[in-house]
Chain A
């Protein structure tokens, strides 16, 4: 069927407008179909390729679904203990101030076990980039309730929905660290539509450009789906994310160039 609509006169090397970047190793990603991790990996590597930073960048991979990020990214990477990626990145950046350092963490890593490291690294104003993938669930271990799980959201450890009287309220890490003086650029993005992906890529580029000026932490939260953990198809989970996650985690910049921006989105009643 594919050969029927192949346009061989267009299919030439000089007409390529988009192809998978060479900074991603040529091997299949280990993520579930439709997972936002793959898109964020690709945007990150494309940004580094465009800025020409392949040999000057050191990444820190977390514990979680993206623990194997060092297998896919063709740059220097280190694996940190669970939640301790900001501490490791602090050491790398202080030893090697001319290198570009980023951490890539999920919500179980950054917002649960690594809350102390995250907040103190942001408060010290280290000069690296933090990328935070928030899907509201512990995806790798089988969909348990995470600190970022929405109220009344069903997970395998809260089968009747998250009861906020017993289990507390979701943690908005991005709003939290935006209050600290050490952060310079704080934003929340998504990767479910083409326009959202383009905005995320711009945010990643801005974060790496901030590292050149040594102005403080750039913190990018990416609201992502977890279709396996949420028990939905990828397209359904993207729709569910738009309807339920975005009212609670509104997209947009929260702090630009060290100045808080007034959030325009509404908050949801819990």
Chain B
């Protein structure tokens, strides 16, 4: 059976660490790092494999730093 799997790519140098994406993600796929980027903000990273490519994080991101990929994959 085919499943929908997604992936996100975050432009960490543009991320301002507002955490709005974390509140909107239904699968808790995004979390903040302890490290900071070039501007001194903590940035968002993907922390698990549950992403389905629903685009919620990308749509609420005020700076538009998230690119979303989505594909059908066959379950192993």
Contact = CB atoms under 8 A, between A and B. Distances in A.
Interface in B34-69: 41, 45-49, 53, 55-56, 58-69
Nearest to B15: A33
A33 B41 contact: yes
A15 B66 CA distance: 14
Question: Residue among A10, A16, A29, A35 with the most chain B CB within 10 A?
Answer: A10
A18 B56 CA distance: 10
Size band of the B side of the interface? 35 or more
A161 B56 CA distance: 35
Given A1-B33, A10-B69, A194-B24, A34 B48 contact: no
Given A2-B10, A15-B69, A197 B59 contact: yes
Size band of the A side of the interface? 35 or more
Contact of A2 (B14, B17, B45): B45
A3 B27 CA distance: 19
A197 B69 CA distance: 20
B47 A5 contact: yes
Given A33-B16, A194-B24, A234-B20, A5 B46 contact: yes
A31 interface: yes
A30 to B, nearest CB: 11
Contact of A197 (B5, B22, B60): B60
Interface SS majority for chain A: loop
A194 B46 CA distance: 19
Nearest to B50: A5
B62 A193 contact: no
A17 B6 CA distance: 10
A11 B5 CA distance: 11
Contacts of A6: 7, 46
A46 to B, nearest CB: 9
B63 to A, nearest CB: 5
B18 A34 contact: yes
A15 B71 contact: yes
A16 B69 contact: yes
A205 interface: no
A98 B8 CA distance: 40
7 contacts: A10-B7, A11-B9, A11-B69, A18-B68, A34-B20, A194-B59, A197-B59
